[in-house]
């Protein structure tokens, strides 16, 4: 009992000290070019290297015991505690629309690409290493070291990449690649331990398909059931956030232990459904808290996992002789060459599918193939498998640990330099031009504020020259640079602004879930390929009343449901038409301030006017064709807007300290109860 208590305390000490070290390190690295993940790994290795020394001071001895215990933790801890949460956070923060457009490229890299890397790495290890490995062992090792790790890749990209497409491609590949690696590892582990003697290519394909399909199915089913439940809640942030925390672990457990499928694929499926079609099911006020919560949790887990990897690596790497280091160097160079060969080999296909791929981005894709916690966890599973030879276990663990360190330290720390050399550290030219126009807009606003401050009686002694030197935007008037075609970028910017307008309306409670879903869907269709402001066929299709509802309206029993479906569709049409009208009016006002050329502004205004007229005509037709519904629908919308305004005002008065938080909670509860009741009444026909 005392021993167990001691271990628990030591783990707590490790957790607290590791997080404090991470916080200090993050503060020290601010405004430096050193990636946080690389620095954490090196710190973990440094701590691991001093654990052999005998320490007499009681406090330091306690710290040493805590870090020693952490370095001997079970591999399954990394797999089951850290991985589900980190994979969920990474997939949940992806731009789902972009992921869908690039899915063909991501799948090509993550499945055939990963399999090819595994096989070629196995051939390399059989020909270079003198340890007489079996084919099963070589394939198992190939699967371990070919897995690009989402934890390492994502933490690096978020620090230095503002290119959404490149980030989505690398991140998406590492997420799915991980699922593939774990599946292949499990299959080849059976081969290496002779649990399954003969190797059948068809068996591997069949098993892989089963594992991935069941993984997707479990993620989708849990997502559908949980979203149905979340949709029935009303602004309960504690339950909604707690569900997103517990469900990734549930689907991971169900997949891995109950159905022996891919836990990573299940978690990715769950996260993508939540981030895409499920986003409108969460209460609007909760989404911001949700992203903050996951961002913080991801930071804590990343800090712990990189220090842990550093600790484990340093305690294992110290045992090797010089010859092994030479083999490690060969394998490291080999896996870089193999990844290059596979991506270059796939380039003709990658350049033509999804959103295409340039030569510069393919170089970043090759160099960004970092290995991390997943590879190390798989190697630790091998190291603790008693049915394998002890020397073989040490060899696999040594090589994997070495490759993890080399890819994170060498590739990770030089990534910024590589991107700068390729010109990918800046925005594309057309985006830069649009961005410069936005900065000019900010500058105009600052000039106005500056003039009003000059009139302030209490700011008469201001040294305006010193102030202006520190405010770059005030002094830089907007200049036209060389001629670049910015039409596509301009239209994309307008559509993205329109999409954000809908999310803001949804967050304020002025748009319902269904209306938001239709309007956002239409924007994402318009953004596919070359951005197109008009026409909007997606909206027109979703505004049609189901044919069966009109045909069955007067039938007994079923007529009630038909009239209900028809009424619901009328409400959605009216709401989304109203939202479209307001958004197009807003964009018509915004467009001139973002325009770079007269012609592109005229085209955009012409197309946006057509959208505005389309929405206005729909609203007028609705009033003409369904006068019996107009009063009811408009009354419900007016009530919802007023109740949202009341809630907003209570929140503002609370921030200003006029109402206490306890009183505000009671008032908001009353308002939300009225909202919930009005929603239920509106659904009854």
pLDDT digits (tens, 9 = 90+) for 303-315: 998 898 888 888 7
Calpha distance 591→314 (Å, rounded): 57
Is there a contact between 303 and 19 (Cβ–Cβ < 8 Å)? Answer: yes
More confident residue, 267 or 442: 267
- Mean pLDDT value across the chain: 86
Whether the CB-CB separation of 332 and 402 falls below 8 Å is answered with yes
DSSP letters for 238-299: HHHHHHHHHHHHHHHHIIIIIS---HHHHHHHHHHHHHTTTGGGS-HHHHHHHHHHHHHHHH
pLDDT score of 156 more than 90:
no
- Helices 58-71 and 36-49, packing angle to 10 deg: 110
CB 427 within 8 A of CB 161: no
Mean pLDDT of 616-638: 85
- Mean pLDDT is highest, among 96-105, 284-293, 319-328, 414-423, for 96-105
pLDDT value at position 354?
A: 86
**What are the residue boundaries of the structural domains of the chain, listed by start?**
75-421, 429-475, 487-683
* Greater model confidence, 598 or 271: 271
- pLDDT tens for 393-439 read 888 988 998 999 999 889 888 888 888 888 877 777 767 777 777 77
Closest CA to 72 of 64, 82, 60, 80: 64
Under 8 Å between Cβ of 373 and 305: yes
Most confident stretch, 67-71, 603-607, 623-627, 640-644: 603-607
pLDDT one-digit tens code per residue, 244-283: 999 999 999 999 999 999 999 999 999 999 999 898 898 8
In CATH, the number for domain 75-421 is: 1.20.1530.20
| CA angle (635, 640, 645) in 5-degree steps | 125
Q: What pLDDT band is residue 1 in, cutting at 50, 70 and 90?
A: low
User: Of all residues in the chain, what percent carry a pLDDT higher than 70?
Assistant: 92
**Residues 549, 566 contacting (CB under 8 angstroms):** yes
* Predicted confidence (pLDDT) per residue in 329-383, tens digit: 999 999 999 999 999 999 999 999 988 898 988 998 999 888 888 898 899 889 8
Assess whether pLDDT exceeds 90 at residue 609. yes
User: Which carries the bigger pLDDT value, residue 61 or residue 483?
Assistant: 61
d(CA 174, CA 333): 20
Per residue in 498-532, pLDDT (tens digit) is: 999 999 988 877 888 889 999 999 998 888 878 88
Q: In angstroms, rounded to a whole number, what is the distance separating the alpha carbons of residues 489 and 493?
A: 6
Listed in sequence order, the residues at least 6 apart from 682 whose beta carbon sits closer than 8 Å to its beta carbon are 571, 636
pLDDT band at 147 (very low <50, low <70, confident <90, very high): confident
- Provide the CA 333 distance to its chain's centre, in angstroms: 30
Q: How many residues does the chain have?
A: 685
d(CA 93, CA 596): 31
Q: Taking residues 17-41, report their average pLDDT.
A: 90
pLDDT of residue 20: 96
Q: Quick check: 23 pLDDT over 50?
A: yes
The answer, yes or no, to whether residue 535 has pLDDT greater than 80, is yes
∠243-377-6 over CA atoms, to 5°? 75
Residue 492 confidence (pLDDT) above 60:
yes
């Amino acid at each position: 009992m005392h021993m167990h208590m001691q271990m628990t305390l030591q783990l707590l000490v490790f957790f607290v000290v590791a997080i404090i070290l991470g916080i200090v390190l993050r503060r020290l690295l601010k405004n430096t070019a050193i990636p946080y993940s690389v620095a954490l790994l090196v710190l973990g290795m440094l701590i691991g290297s001093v654990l052999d020394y005998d320490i007499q001071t009681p406090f330091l001895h306690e710290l040493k015991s805590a870090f020693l215990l952490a370095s001997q933790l079970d591999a399954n801890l990394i797999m089951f505690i850290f991985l589900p949460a980190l994979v969920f956070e990474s997939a949940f923060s992806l731009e789902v629309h972009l992921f869908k457009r690039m899915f063909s490229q991501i799948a090509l890299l993550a499945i055939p690409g990963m399999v090819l890397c595994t096989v070629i790495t196995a051939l390399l290890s059989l020909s270079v290493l003198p340890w007489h490995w079996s084919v099963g062992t070589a394939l198992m090792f190939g699967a371990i070291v070919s897995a690009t790790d989402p934890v390492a890749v994502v933490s690096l990209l978020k620090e230095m990449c503002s290119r959404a497409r490149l980030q989505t491609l690398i991140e998406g590949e590492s997420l799915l690649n991980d699922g593939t690696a774990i599946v292949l590892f499990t299959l080849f582990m059976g081969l290496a331990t002779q649990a399954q003697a003969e190797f059948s290519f068809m068996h591997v394909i069949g098993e892989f398909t089963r594992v991935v399909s069941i993984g997707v199915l479990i993620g989708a089913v849990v997502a559908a059931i949980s979203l149905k439940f979340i949709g029935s809640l009303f602004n309960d942030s504690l339950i909604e956030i707690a569900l997103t925390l517990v469900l990734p672990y549930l689907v991971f457990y169900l997949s891995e232990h109950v159905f022996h499928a891919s836990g990573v694929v299940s978690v990715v499926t769950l996260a993508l459904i939540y981030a895409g079609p499920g986003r409108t099911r969460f209460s609007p006020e909760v989404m911001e808290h949700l992203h903050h919560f996951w961002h913080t949790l991801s930071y804590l887990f990343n800090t712990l996992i990189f220090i842990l990897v550093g600790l484990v690596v340093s305690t294992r790497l110290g045992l090797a002789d010089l010859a092994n280091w030479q083999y490690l160097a060969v394998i490291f160079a080999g896996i870089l060459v193999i990844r290059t060969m596979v991506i270059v080999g796939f380039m003709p296909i990658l350049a033509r599918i999804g959103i295409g791929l340039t030569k510069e981005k393919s170089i970043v894709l090759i160099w960004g193939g970092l290995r991390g916690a997943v590879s190390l966890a798989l190697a630790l599973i091998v190291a603790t498998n008693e049915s394998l030879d002890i020397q073989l276990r040490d060899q696999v663990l040594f090589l994997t640990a070495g490759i993890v360190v080399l890819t994170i330290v060498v590739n990770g720390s030089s990534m910024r330099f590589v991107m700068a050399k390729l010109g990918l550290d800046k925005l594309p030219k057309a985006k830069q031009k649009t961005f410069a126009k936005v900065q000019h807009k900010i500058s105009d606003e600052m000039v106005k504020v500056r003039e009003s401050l000059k009139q302030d009686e209490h700011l008469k002694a201001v040294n305006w020259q010193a102030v202006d030197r520190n405010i770059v935007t005030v002094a830089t008037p907007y200049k036209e640079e060389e001629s670049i075609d910015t039409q596509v970028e301009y239209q994309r910017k307008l559509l993205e602004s329109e999409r954000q307008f809908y999310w803001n309306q949804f967050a304020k409670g002025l748009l319902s879930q269904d209306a938001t879903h239709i309007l956002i869907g239409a924007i994402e269709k318009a953004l596919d390929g070359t951005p197109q402001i008009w026409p909007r066929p997606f909206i027109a299709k979703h505004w049609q009343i189901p044919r069966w509802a009109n045909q069955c309206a007067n039938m007994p029993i079923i007529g009630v449901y038909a009239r209900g479906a028809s009424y619901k569709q009328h409400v959605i049409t009216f709401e989304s038409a109203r939202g479209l009208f307001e958004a197009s009016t807003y964009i018509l006002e915004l467009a001139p301030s973002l325009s770079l050329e007269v012609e592109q502004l005229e085209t955009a205004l012409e197309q946006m006017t057509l959208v505005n007229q389309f929405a206005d005509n729909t609203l007028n037709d609705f009033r003409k064709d369904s006068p019996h519904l107009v009063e009811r629908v408009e009354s419900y919308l007016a009530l919802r807007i007023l109740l949202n305004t009341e809630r907003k005002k209570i929140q503002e008065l609370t921030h200003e300290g006029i109402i206490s938080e306890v009183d505000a909670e009671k008032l908001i509860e009353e308002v939300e109860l009225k909202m919930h009741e009005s929603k239920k009444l509106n659904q009854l026909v």
